Structure 1
Amino acid sequence: MDELPGPVIEKLQILQKVESEHPLMAHAPVEKYYTALVTGDLRNIKVLTDKYYEDVNLIFEIIKNELEWQVKSLASFGLSGLWTLEYKRELTTPLCITARNGHTACMRHLLFWRADPNMAPGGQSALHEACEGGHTDCTELLLEHRANPNLLSEEGLAPLHLCTNQNTLGCAKLLVKYGAMVDLPSEETQETPLHIAAKHGLYDHALLYLRYGASADRKNSREETALSVTCGQAKEQEEQGSYLQVCSLLVMYGADVNTTDEEEKSPLHKACKNASHGLVQFLLQNKADVNAIDYNGASPLSCILQTAAFKQQWRPHLTVQTLLNHGSQKIWPMAFGKVLRSCASVPEIIEILFNSYSQVPISEQWREAIPEEIFQMHLPFYESFFMLACTPRCLQHLCRFAIRNQFGSKCHYLIPSLPVPKPLQNYLLLEPEGILL
């Protein structure tokens, strides 16, 4: 028997009754048929279908043991495989196999012999398989042969829901051209293709759907719009540029920047939680509510303070500074000890918050909230911080506070317009200096 590619196959059975009475069937084992389909061997496929009359709508049941991978001990730096106790059964057809592997010529031959493009015995049709793999030619061929662009898989997903990377843009364009519904929700999560594009930061996909009439504010089962999903996904610094582009596009098409999900979290809450400074700036520039409160009573400022210690490489102090310059309500001064416990490793945040008040009484107990190694790591700053325990702030700081108090939520654009030197503007905008006076 020819060795089959992919996971180890213990047994390959035929569920659909074939014309076993044909005298040449014994010379055309289904294993060879399967192998030819997987490898795209058009010559053998033609022989098997034309000469040996293999059914182009045959249903394969592949019964296989699945390998479960587990990490070995850290010393070995490797993986180990364990066999599961249960078989995994997969139903598929010749057309699905060739679509999954992108064998367009083989698909064309099967379709010529009237393979059904909408058969989905394994839960997904050939069109689902082609779109998931980003095989544009296969997708076009299937649509030309009347594959249903809105057919839901066993998991309740349409082909557009499987266009999850940039390589699938061609497939998405073909699907909408042939009538795919851009607002069709998935069955379980109620996510539209626009939600999927937002989740993966796919600007071109999102633009395509919006141009075809997708609703920018359609909500999924968790009451999230595409904008909310976008702001919640930008977890890596290098990703934030693409997600910012998607956010800009959604807002241009009328997305509500103050929409909330089932936990009453706004897109600004989610952007702050991820320390996505670019997204925070963009949302605030488009009139996001800087003081919105979620179901748990947390503001956007609270969200960034809670996660700042884990986002240090993304300079979370910039988000805190931006929020305060846009009028964010400050924390209660007596809660400063809690902020020290969570943000001591980011002294820039402590400095920015401390300088947003005219005067904050410093408690001796605050020193205990700072781990010794962090205190020593940022010794000059924390020494200057605790030296202010019984000392009034300098006149320059008090003048800064008075100006900021007068400008309120307009600090971010009024201060840069003042006819004063740039260093003084930065001072008024709470730019951290590494020491307190």
Structure 2
Amino acid sequence: MSSIDCIPDHPSSSDLVRRLKSALDVGDENTVMGLICTEVQHVNATIELSNDDWMKEPEAHLDPLVLVGVWTLEYKRELTTPLCITARNGHTACVRHLLFWRADPNMAPGGQSALHEACEGGHTDCTELLLEHRANPNLLSEEGLAPLHLCTNQNTLGCAKLLVKYGAMVDLPNEETQETPLHIAAKHGLCDHALLYLRYGASVDRKNSRKETALSVTCGQAKEQEEQGSYLQVCRLLVMYGADVNTTDEEEKSPLHKACKNASHGLVQFLLQNKADVNAIDYNGASPLSCILQSAAFKQQWKPHLTVQTLLNHGSQKIWPMAFGKVLRSCASVPEIIEILFNSYSQVPISEQWREAIPEEIFQMHLPFYESFFMLTCTPRCLQHLCRFAIRNQFGSKCHYLIPSLPVPKPLQNYLLMEPEGILL
């Protein structure tokens, strides 16, 4: 019988459920335990916590969207059991009591078992009790998720350790996206979880439905600067366990493409140090350099020019000189990028039309740089720059480690590595 057809032992309209919900809302564990232990019909009773089936109320006021046919004829109904309720809220004593009276730990009228609920909430003691009473660590919920798939924050590490100890399969994919627990750990930057799964034999390069490995997922998730440290830690771990840094997803994007799109300079450096292909091309013909140029204007607080500089020092192919107008339109607000790209050539003819590509407020905001930029129209570059270009051209993709080894002062090394100076000469 489906949850829609199921007749609950305690419907949402009952006095018991109203009192139970009130106690749950305020976190009153004593009242919750008292109601469940003394007033619920039996330990495996079905409790309906909510039901918004508007079809049961012919006189109910319906939203206009419903009336024009947008309504899907589905409604939310939350069915659960006493064990699921107490496990979800971490009420260990109540869970122990219910299990003593032989509550079924694998019953899931609402789609998730008590073990799912305990793991999602990071309730380690409840998880241990359930596993000791033969809860199935590989049971899939109605949404196709195993308990390990619900271990999505640092507080769930204890639950994850217990699950694998009791036989949870670390390579079990969820039904919708085919993501394994390792993918989930990578998505949330959980290094300790990832290490746990890898130690238990998780496949480091297994792909999900989008053909992403855990490394690919990690590089695509580090969108916030404060997060990037944890994701870098996960990347280091995955590569240590043999992850392929040049794997590609269904769009032929590599981890480097994704790290560049997010302006994750630390990840970009790490991937390049581990032989990521700096000139990999995705399905749309974009290189890692193209990815950072496309997103730079939206990532200014994360200094996207550092990523551009690193890519060029590792041998990235340069943009077509005549494409500078397009780059100016997208990156004018990050003049450091314009400076680095311009300095990667010995000489680039400046078009008068490029001035039109720069919004006036941006031009005025970075006036010294853009004045120096357009002063080079029909003017040769200085000898110092030409010498830099010749040295970089000789070193090629080895600039990143050969230049720092030169017996020259640090400021000169920085100049050779195209550290932005704020003006062009």
Q: Please, what TM-score do these two structures have when normalized by structure 1?
A: 0.87
Q: Is the 8 A contact 1:33 1:45 kept in 2?
A: no
Partner of 2:133: 145
Counterparts of 1:256-275 in structure 2, within 5 Å, are 256-275=244-263
Deviates more, 1:153-162 or 1:87-96: 87-96
1:15 aligns with 2:20: no
Partner of 1:292: 280
SS at 1:62 equivalent: strand
Task: Looking at secondary structure, tell me which structure has more strand per residue.
Answer: 1
Counterparts of 1:263-342 in structure 2, within 5 Å, are 263-342=251-330
Partner of 1:207: 195
Q: Which amino acid aligns with 2:17?
A: E
Q: Summarize the Cα distance change of 1:43–1:17 in structure 2 as closer, same or farther, 3 Å threshold.
A: closer
1:156 aligns with 2:144: yes
SS at 2:159 equivalent: helix
Deviations 1:272-298 (A, max 9, x none): 000000000000000000000000000
Partner of 2:58: none
Tell me by how many angstroms 1:112 deviates: 0.9
Deviates more, 1:36-45 or 1:361-370: 36-45
Q: Is the 8 A contact 2:116 2:146 kept in 1?
A: yes
Deviations 1:218-251 (A, max 9, x none): 0000000000000000000000000000000000
Partner of 2:91: 103
Q: Is the 8 A contact 1:37 1:98 kept in 2?
A: no
Q: Which amino acid aligns with 1:301?
A: L
Pick from 15, 37, 40 the counterpart of residue 29 of structure 2.
Answer: 40
1:63 aligns with 2:50: yes
Partner of 1:31: 17
Q: Which runs of 4+ in 1 moved over 6 A?
A: 82-86
**Identity score, percent:** 87
Q: Which amino acid aligns with 1:173?
A: K
Tell me by how many angstroms 1:88 deviates: 2.4
Pick from 403, 414, 418 the counterpart of residue 402 of structure 2.
Answer: 414
The alignment's C-alpha RMSD in Å is 2.0
Counterparts of 1:186-205 in structure 2, within 5 Å, are 186-205=174-193
Q: Which amino acid aligns with 1:234?
A: A
Tell me by how many angstroms 1:91 deviates: 1.0
Tell me by how many angstroms 1:32 deviates: 7.3
**Separation in 1, partners of 2:75, 2:333:** 50
SS at 1:91 equivalent: strand
**Separation in 1, partners of 2:263, 2:122:** 32
Deviations 1:323-344 (A, max 9, x none): 0000000000011110011100
Aligned length: 397
Tell me by how many angstroms 1:33 deviates: 7.8
Tell me by how many angstroms 1:17 deviates: 6.1
Deviates more, 1:403-412 or 1:86-95: 86-95
**Separation in 1, partners of 2:9, 2:93:** 26
Deviates more, 1:358-367 or 1:34-43: 34-43
Q: Summarize the Cα distance change of 1:36–1:431 in structure 2 as closer, same or farther, 3 Å threshold.
A: closer
Gapped regions of structure 2 (runs ≥ 5)? 54-62, 67-73
Q: Which amino acid aligns with 2:292?
A: I
Q: Summarize the Cα distance change of 1:32–1:327 in structure 2 as closer, same or farther, 3 Å threshold.
A: closer
Deviations 1:38-97 (A, max 9, x none): 443334544336xxxx2100012233459xxxxxxxxxxxxxxx9997852111111001
Partner of 2:80: 92
Tell me by how many angstroms 1:318 deviates: 0.3
Q: Please, what TM-score do these two structures have when normalized by structure 2?
A: 0.90
Pick from 223, 228, 251 the counterpart of residue 211 of structure 2.
Answer: 223
Tell me by how many angstroms 1:376 deviates: 0.7
Q: Is the 8 A contact 2:346 2:385 kept in 1?
A: yes
Deviates more, 1:246-255 or 1:35-44: 35-44
**Separation in 2, partners of 1:129, 1:87:** 22
Deviations 1:341-383 (A, max 9, x none): 1100000000000000000001111111111111111111111
Partner of 1:7: none
SS at 2:76 equivalent: strand
SS at 1:182 equivalent: coil
Gapped regions of structure 1 (runs ≥ 5)? 1-12, 19-27, 67-81
